[in-house]
Structure 1
Amino acid sequence: MSNQAQEAREALGARLRGFRKDAGFTSGRAFALATGWQESKVSRIENGKQNASETDIRTWCTKTNRPEQIEDLIATVRHIDELWLEWRRQLETGAETRQSKAIPVYARTKVFRIWHPTLIWGTLQTADYAAATFEQVVDFFEIPNDTEAATAKRLERQQYLYQGDRIFNVLLAEQALYTNFGGPEVMKGQLDRLLAVMRLARLSLGIIPRSAPVHIWPGNSFSMFDDRLVLVETYSAEFSVTQPREIEMYAKAYSLLQRSAVYGTAVRDLIFNAIQHFDHMPTD
């Protein structure tokens, strides 16, 4: 869980503990008896060790005579959930819904800072490459197969490369040029796409060569949207960073990663080398 999500959960627990004590329940055991819960559940919620559900909030506020707080606290619970979203829950109806949620974020953003150590950033992907990634998502999370719709929605984001005055700062590790989604022909098409888009004035594409000295460990991929939001992906979940001091840390990490990157002609050379690699790979 992100630090911000944990801090929010602990703050909620402290607030609920205050409600309990103000209502005359001097111990978690007494409150557990009144609600029919396990005492351990009361303790975990109050100490930020367990998420309180919306039903839990309604019960808590009713038992402590704070019904006027229900709406506000439910909004707080939903916000905490948004800070850390399990992929299985986000993708339960397929991948298209999650892709659709990205569109408004992109529309509002003026400056993008993107880091990915292992694959090509979604907005620069070809249809074939994107489809190959979504097929893996479908298999891994065992979700409905809506690869075609999800791919179309991801490609819709590419309109922002050509609209307005947005600036795209994209950093990839050299490994991203070689991580094989879909086979040699798909990869060569994707690499050709990179050569085409890197000519866009609004796009700065940097690549960190595999042997480049680094000034910070590569870590997880992350996407920064202005100075207001960072999205970080893991195998199990995606979490949102909105707290200014945490966003500053990601901005610092991005600057340190940039110090290892090459640009322009050096990037083209790395991409051409990767194309030659896939030229010599069997296509069966």
Structure 2
Amino acid sequence: MTGTELAVRCGWTHPKTSRIENARTPPTPQDIRLWCRACGADDQAADIIVQSRDAESQYVEWQRKVRAGLTRLQGSYVQLYQATELFRIYSPTLVPGLLQTEGYARALLSANARLLDIPDDAEEAAAARLERSQVIHEPGHRFVMLIEEGVLRYQLGDADAMAAQLGHLLTAGALPSVSLGIIPSATQERRLRPQELFHVYDDTLVSVELLSAQVRVTQPSEIALYLKAFEHLRGMAVYGADARALIVKAIDALR
């Protein structure tokens, strides 16, 4: 069946078929029903409508979520954090939020506000981020965090703020509930290239952070893929004294 014939059967224009096919326009439930009917697949319409709604709810645009500022966004994670026993976090570009100092978080959030063209409430948002990060000191939670060595070199805020952040990593990495691994830049024959920033909450949810949006992954097969990738990345990281040596080296480079 051609696109033109499909459009005729559905009673809309051919450009609309093209827009839906190429994901430029999301289909309405009625669009899905008409498309399935035109293809003799009425019995599949209900499932496809549910899948479409799930996909839309799993992709959340930052600008829509932070329209009134960044402070409220920080509080929206508290319930999820409290319910999670095992956190797995991989970050190729940033210190994970749970390990951020106020100065580092304020510089990051202020930059995000400028990029998204929203009210700059970075000071209040940074304080809220630190408050929610107290979960790291509460019993019943474990944290496995991986960062690329480059994270130690990407300066956010002034040199003093960055030095304080790196110093905090030395302290936080020694907490009993925290495993902090650093993947050295000099790693040879990497098993896996650097990936997007992602969080795994227990084994039930993966949150992927993109420039424009956050994607929530709940499909078991996709979660399994992220867990497999995490183990590959974890196998390349250094820990303990070797990780501390990389942090100290980065602090010395600030002087």
TM bracket (short chain): 0.7 to 0.9
Give unmatched runs, 5+ long, in structure 1. 1-25, 65-71
Is residue 75–residue 132 contact of structure 2 (8 Å, CA) maintained in 1?
A: no
Shift, 1:77, TM fit: 5.1
Shift, 1:218, TM fit: 0.8
**Matched AA of 2:233:** L
**Matched AA of 2:107:** A
Aligned CA distance change for structure 1 residues 40 and 123 (closer, same or farther; 3 Å): same
Match of 1:235 in 2: 211
Match of 2:120 in 1: 145
Match of 1:112 in 2: 87
Aligned CA distance change for structure 1 residues 28 and 178 (closer, same or farther; 3 Å): same
Q: Secondary structure at the match of 1:79?
A: helix
Match of 2:44 in 1: none
**Matched AA of 1:122:** G
**Matched AA of 1:28:** A
Aligned CA distance change for structure 1 residues 132 and 48 (closer, same or farther; 3 Å): closer
Match of 2:230 in 1: 254
Aligned CA distance change for structure 1 residues 187 and 74 (closer, same or farther; 3 Å): same
Counterparts in 2 of 1:130-169, with a 5 A limit? 130-169=105-144
Aligned CA distance change for structure 1 residues 60 and 269 (closer, same or farther; 3 Å): closer
Q: Secondary structure at the match of 1:128?
A: helix
Shift, 1:94, TM fit: 1.6
Normalising by structure 1, what TM-score?
0.76
Separation in structure 2 between the aligned mates of residue 133 and residue 98 of structure 1, nearest angstrom: 14
Is residue 70–residue 122 contact of structure 2 (8 Å, CA) maintained in 1?
A: yes
Separation in structure 1 between the aligned mates of residue 14 and residue 75 of structure 2, nearest angstrom: 41
**Matched AA of 1:104:** Q
1:272 matches 2:248: yes
1:28 matches 2:7: yes
Counterparts in 2 of 1:207-222, with a 5 A limit? 207-213=182-188, 214-222=190-198
Q: Secondary structure at the match of 2:106?
A: helix
Separation in structure 1 between the aligned mates of residue 23 and residue 157 of structure 2, nearest angstrom: 43
Shift, 1:39, TM fit: 4.4
Shift, 1:58, TM fit: 6.9
**Matched AA of 1:29:** V
Q: Secondary structure at the match of 1:259?
A: helix
Bigger shift: 192-201 or 146-155? 146-155
Listed one character per residue, the Cα deviations across residues 75-95 of structure 1 (whole Å, up to 9, x for unaligned) are 765532221122222222222
Separation in structure 2 between the aligned mates of residue 47 and residue 186 of structure 1, nearest angstrom: 45
Separation in structure 2 between the aligned mates of residue 129 and residue 27 of structure 1, nearest angstrom: 54
1:100 matches 2:79: no
1:202 matches 2:177: yes
Separation in structure 2 between the aligned mates of residue 187 and residue 135 of structure 1, nearest angstrom: 15
Shift, 1:274, TM fit: 1.0
Aligned CA distance change for structure 1 residues 30 and 248 (closer, same or farther; 3 Å): closer
Is residue 28–residue 43 contact of structure 1 (8 Å, CA) maintained in 2?
A: no
Normalising by structure 2, what TM-score?
0.84
Query: What is the CA RMSD across the aligned residues, in angstroms?
Result: 2.6
